[in-house]
Each structure stands twice: as C-alpha cells, then as structure tokens.
A = this chain, B = another copy of it.
C-alpha cells in the first residue's frame, strides 16, 4: 500500500515512454499505451510495411483474382487455463475467429501452435484439445495446420496456444479502422467486462452471489447477420485487451474523428459492476472475449441493432453513442451526473494474462 509519505511506484499503471524501460515489463502486453509504444518504436521500424500498417484485428490481403483474404494471428497465454465460462482451448479458437470476422470476412481455416510445458497433465491437455475441437465445430472453421513444441518445466505455464486464421471477405464489404464517419452510430453487442472480471474473481478468490462467467464466444454468425442488413458497416472491432476504451480510442485516432458516448448506456452486469467497484477498476477498460463494437451509418443503425438483438450473443446489444467531427482522436463520455470526461487509452497494466 502507498501512503503520502511513501509513494508506491510499483503500481499497475505507468505512462513512461519506452526508452525508460531497459527490459520488458508486464504492461508491455496489456493493450494500452505501453504496448502501443513498444509496437510503434521497436516492432514497426524493423517490420513495418503497408499491409501490416492496416492496424486492424485482421489484415486484408488482396489476391491477384480480385478476391480478398483476411489473415490474423493471436497468442493465448491466459492463466488459469480453465476459468468460469471457458478455457484456453475454446478461447484460442474464438479469439482468432473473431479477429477474422472483424474484417467482415467469413473465417474458414485455422492453424494452431501448441507450446506445452513439461509436466502438463496429459488428461488436462486432452480436455483442452477437445474443447479446441468443439469450438472449431461451433464456429464453423477447420483446423488445417498444427505444430507442437515442448519446453522445460518452469519455462512455460502449462500451455500457450497461438492460432492464426484465414477468412474470405465478401464482395462489397469495406470495413476498416479508418472508415468511421461523423454521424455513425456506435453500437456494442452486449455487457462489458465479463471476461476480465471472471478471470480476476478466480485469481483474487472473490465470491459473488451470481458467479461472473467469461463471455468467450464466436462472433462470426452475428457479423454475418449484420452484413445481411447492409454491407455499409464502417468499423468492427472486438473489445479484448484494453476493453471498450482501447477500441474507441484506436478507431477515433485511425479515422481522425471524435467519439461521444453516454456512460449510462454501456451495458454492464450488476455483479461485474460490483466487482469492479470493489477492486477500483473501470469496466470500460476490462477485457471481453465475445463482444464487438460497430460503427454504422445512422440510416442503418436501428436495423443492424435489431439483427444483433436476434443473435444469441447479442441480446444485450445497445447503441451507446455517436461519431462526431469535433475533437478528432478524442473519446468523450457523458457521465451519470451530467458532466463529461475524456476516456483515454489505458496506460499499461490493468489485468495481465487474461487472453
């Protein structure tokens, strides 16, 4: 604990620039400013190119015949491996399926790289691999390439999984982080913060009247239904690391627009709200694994929202705000007490190892 006399600099957030870190710290992996600095200052100069520069959940690859692939990769290092509402096997499938779907693509093929730690119980591995297979069937994708490595005891955490995925983008669909336009409605597909708080409640040993379970789910079916209403959806993003706050900030910056939303309209389950208050966390910054954010032209907003409501993973979908021309790059929330506040990109470490 810190006191006014003894400031505690080992806290969860630290907005210092990259050059002040001689080594990697947990905050570099948490979807906030520190990760953005690491990518911008270390990875991008060495690896950058126009395609990587799309900075979307998945990258659109134009093929010679005019068709377009969506391609995405994600590593899953979640601890614990099994959590309320899901496990790492299922999460590794849905995480990449959702990233592919956020380009408006139909996810088709997955690869999986399993990094096993010596000592991992064989029956736990069997259970997680079965869960992976079940999730593939649920999401309608095929695992087509795999790799297995084993690392020494004490050099892993039981199991890490990387999945990469390929999808096909239907003709006419043009979704991208830079395509938001003033006037677009800002929609979310359901309650926020469920996944992060489910993990947190296990780690902290918290018990609630109704247990909090992860929202881990495949969103490709919902995206299909939304695109059946109109192909004119401007932005789609799943609100994982960094939560809703990170997504809105990234889209506002990429599209050079402002975003305004009403905090009271953001759906949050009472148990999640209570857990956040107890731990001093803001549900806007907590990770989700089955929720998307959509920016949709006003003319189609109601019909798209109806399509989301009709999907089993979208029953709590809501319109929370609007894209504005003023304050480009800034996200502003109207608060319950009639004021407003800037909702910034999270700085560093909020909840580590949640995906």
Contact = CB atoms under 8 A, between A and B. Distances in A.
Given A46-B130, A133-B46, A71 B166 contact: yes
A73 B147 contact: yes
A116 interface: yes
Contact of A111 (B71, B76, B114): B71
A38 B147 CA distance: 12
A136 B155 CA distance: 28
Given A109-B61, A155-B156, A160-B115, A47 B143 contact: yes
Interface string A2-25: 000000000000000010011111
Nearest to A111: B73
A73 B164 contact: yes
Given A52-B144, A129-B42, A23 B164 contact: no
Contact of A24 (B21, B119, B353): B119
A74 interface: yes
Interface stretch (A120-128, A178-186, A222-230, A266-274): A120-128
Nearest to A136: B47
Given A74-B113, A162-B162, A144 B51 contact: yes
A27 B118 CA distance: 9
Contact of A142 (B35, B49, B154, B155): B49
A279 interface: no
A302 interface: no
Given A119-B23, A122-B21, A111 B72 contact: yes
A350 B147 CA distance: 18
A28 B65 CA distance: 42
B156 A52 contact: no
Of A38, A74, A118, A122, chain B has the most CB atoms within 10 Å of the CB of A122
A322 interface: no
A132 interface: yes
Nearest to A349: B150
B146 A73 contact: yes
A39 interface: yes
A112 interface: yes
A263 interface: no
The 7 closest A-B pairs by CB, nearest first: A29-B150, A73-B111, A164-B164, A162-B162, A75-B113, A46-B133, A51-B144
